[in-house]
Chain A
């Protein structure tokens, strides 16, 4: 399991995190901000956080 933290006021809707998420967890809403569509599918790979140019998404792996 993973926690995905979004800092919406920094998100510019560039779509990088959406495009690189291997599990299609993320999507842009009608205002062009990212939101978590399928939290359960997240594998905490960190690809979204890695290349977000705006430091608007953080993923933390939860210890079981």
Chain B
């Protein structure tokens, strides 16, 4: 028994995810971060889209919304605007956030609305059996890309930063304490925060790409992730083999729900 377990609906465990699926690791990191950040359970809302990863909301002991595919950010936006006091955490998959929900993702970032978005990036559509997503790396196989995908992948962190997010971090399921820390910092940021967490889907992605079992996929993460400062010192050739983790960007911009509240006040009272 651990103290963060109060944030799980214990009667719903064991969860439905496949053996070795990284989603359970990310879900634990989120509740540990909520505990560390000292959020009030009754003032914290978890909003997810559709996908294996999005099922996490059903196991979490808060007010939770399991919404439509790609639409977690619009629902979360509505919640935040209706009651800006709430801490709103969004759980989304790579397909959910960057394919069907891609527009919502960039516009949430553009508005810099105070949401903490945890993107479970398993590089594939897990739930529907392994179709390529916009985050499937170039050349990797999927049911829709039997010879390897021709498309280039998005970098969701660069995408969020360019669109206007004010906190952007990347971590992995190998780097659990770093993931917790990144989510704590994302919660602390008053604006749109993205925490991309690379997670293993040994079933719909790993198997097709011969990446070994879940432990092998975790080892791959430990060997290929480089903390940002170390990554920046690498040559271009070395960089091609690695990806940066840690806090990648912090910015400052007006926050949407606060700006909206000002406008409401002005419309109600007039401006002197």
Contact = CB atoms under 8 A, between A and B. Distances in A.
B214 interface: yes
A10 B14 CA distance: 5
A13 B19 CA distance: 7
A58 B215 contact: no
Interface residues of A, number: 18
Interface in B6-20: 8, 13-15, 17-20
A15 interface: yes
B204 to A, nearest CB: 15
A12 to B, nearest CB: 4
A9 B215 contact: no
Contacts of A13: 19
A12 B19 contact: yes
A52 B28 CA distance: 10
Contacts of B176: 50-51
A26 B218 CA distance: 18
Contact of A53 (B1, B5, B21, B174): B21
B13 A55 contact: yes
A15 B20 CA distance: 8
B138 to A, nearest CB: 28
Q: Which one of A10, A18, A54 has the highest number of Cβ atoms from chain B below 10 Å of its Cβ?
A: A54
A16 interface: yes
Nearest to B213: A15
Given A51-B25, A53-B23, A12 B14 contact: yes
Nearest to B174: A51
A20 interface: yes
Nearest to B18: A12
B91 to A, nearest CB: 15
A13 B176 CA distance: 20
Contacts of B214: 14-16, 53
Contacts of B54: none
Interface of B: 1-2, 5, 8, 13-15, 17-25, 28, 173-174, 176, 202, 213-215, 218-219
